């Protein structure tokens, strides 16, 4: 009997990438399985955001491949990838500061057949605070509220693959806990999540697999229990406590 072939939701194969002549990523091989959360950890400047940029089509690798459900999508634009189910919340929240909450939500109805009314209902149902502020400019929301708005994309676009870059940045621990409970729920509902996280302990708690990137290479990869000691020993942002 042969083992069933499980097609990865997303796969980076032998990816090299950078900016101009500066190489940032070296021979990256990473698989996001069809279910669960993969967390990407690593020090500042390691290349985590660049890896997500490659995965979401915002940076084209100099060599290697990006596969979405087994299809080679290397070089496809972020818009095209969004239309086939890849949703990316980039670093810095990715909201349009000069648009209202309501208009921000409207901007994210990329997928055919998604209605603005449903999008708003889903978002406001999850985050009542956004409903109260629907006519407010997104740039005037608090950090946590902006992140809720950014996360609403994840819910409303009903993506097949979700990429999140440091959603906990600058937020109070209680808000971070709420957001990660939501990430877990999204994953448990069947959407695989690749997330970059600054806090190692948070990542080890929420993720099914952890990869550690340093100087553009994946140094460590495995289940949280397998990598925990290595991660906490070497990682620079172990939440200030040993």
Ligand X SMILES: Nc1ncnc2c1ncn2[C@@H]1O[C@H](COP(=O)(O)OP(=O)(O)OP(=O)(O)O)[C@@H](O)[C@H]1O
CB under 6 A: which stretch of 19-27, 81-89, 129-137, 224-232 binds ligand X? 19-27
Contact with ligand X (CB under 6 A): which of 48, 76, 93, 153?
Answer: 48
Contacting range for ligand X; rule: CB under 6 A; set: 17-25, 29-37, 146-154, 155-163? 17-25
Tell me which stretch binds ligand X (CB under 6 A): 29-37, 38-46, 101-109, 184-192: 38-46
Q: Which is nearer to Mg ion, 124 or 235 (CB)?
A: 235
Q: Is 109 in the site for Mg ion (CB under 5 A)?
A: no
For residue 173, state whether it binds ligand X (rule: CB under 6 A).
no
Q: Which does 19 bind (CB under 5 to 8 A by kind): Mg ion, ligand X, none?
A: ligand X
By CB under 6 A, name the one of 8, 12, 17, 24 that touches ligand X: 24
Judge contact between 123 and 158, C-beta under 8 A. Answer: no
Least separation in angstroms between CB 29 and ligand X: 17
Rounded CA separation 134/23 (Å): 42
CB neighbour class for 1 (10 Å; exposed up to 12, middle 13-18, buried from 19): exposed
Please select the residue that binds ligand X; options are 11, 30, 49, 193, rule is CB under 6 A: 49
- Nearest one of 10, 3, 4, 2 to 209, comparing CA atoms: 10
CB count within 10 Å of CB 231 equals: 24
Of 91 and 158, CB closest to Mg ion: 91
Structure tokens at 108: 């994210």
User: Shortest distance, CB of residue 3 to ligand X, whole angstroms?
Assistant: 34
Q: Which residues, 88 to 147, sit near ligand X by CB under 6 A?
A: 91
Check binding of 47 to ligand X (CB under 6 A).
yes
The two tokens of residue 141 are: 């929301």
Question: Among residue numbers 72 through 91, which ones bind Mg ion (CB under 5 A)?
Answer: 91
Interface map 26-65 toward Mg ion (x if CB under 5 A): ----------------------xx----------------
Q: Please identify, using beta-carbon distances, which residue of 151 and 212 lies nearer to ligand X.
A: 212
Provide the binding-site residues for ligand X, judged by CB under 6 A: 19, 22, 24, 42, 44-50, 91
Provide the binding-site residues for Mg ion, judged by CB under 5 A: 48-49, 91
């Amino acid at each position: 009997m042969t083992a069933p072939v499980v097609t990865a939701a997303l796969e980076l194969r032998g990816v090299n990438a950078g900016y101009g002549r500066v190489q940032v990523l070296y021979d990256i091989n990473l698989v996001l399985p069809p279910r669960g959360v993969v967390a990407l950890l690593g020090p500042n400047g390691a290349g985590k955001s660049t890896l997500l940029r490659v995965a979401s089509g915002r940076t084209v690798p100099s060599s290697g491949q990006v596969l979405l459900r087994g299809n080679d999508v290397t070089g496809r634009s972020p818009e095209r990838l969004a239309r086939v189910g890849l949703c990316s919340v980039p670093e810095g929240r990715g909201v349009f500061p000069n648009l209202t909450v309501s208009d921000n939500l409207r901007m994210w109805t990329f997928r055919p057949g998604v209605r603005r009314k449903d999008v708003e209902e889903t978002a406001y149902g999850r985050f009542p605070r956004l409903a109260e502020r629907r006519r407010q400019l997104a740039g005037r929301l608090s950090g946590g509220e902006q992140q809720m708005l950014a996360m609403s994309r994840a819910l409303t676009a009903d993506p097949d693959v979700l990429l999140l870059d440091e959603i906990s940045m600058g937020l109070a621990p209680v808000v971070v806990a709420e957001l990660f409970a939501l990430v877990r729920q999204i994953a448990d509902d069947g959407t695989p999540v690749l997330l970059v996280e600054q806090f190692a302990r948070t990542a080890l708690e929420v993720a099914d697999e952890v990869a550690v990137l340093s100087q553009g290479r994946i140094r460590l990869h495995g289940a949280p229990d397998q990598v925990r000691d290595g991660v906490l020993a070497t990682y620079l942002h172990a939440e200030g406590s040993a």
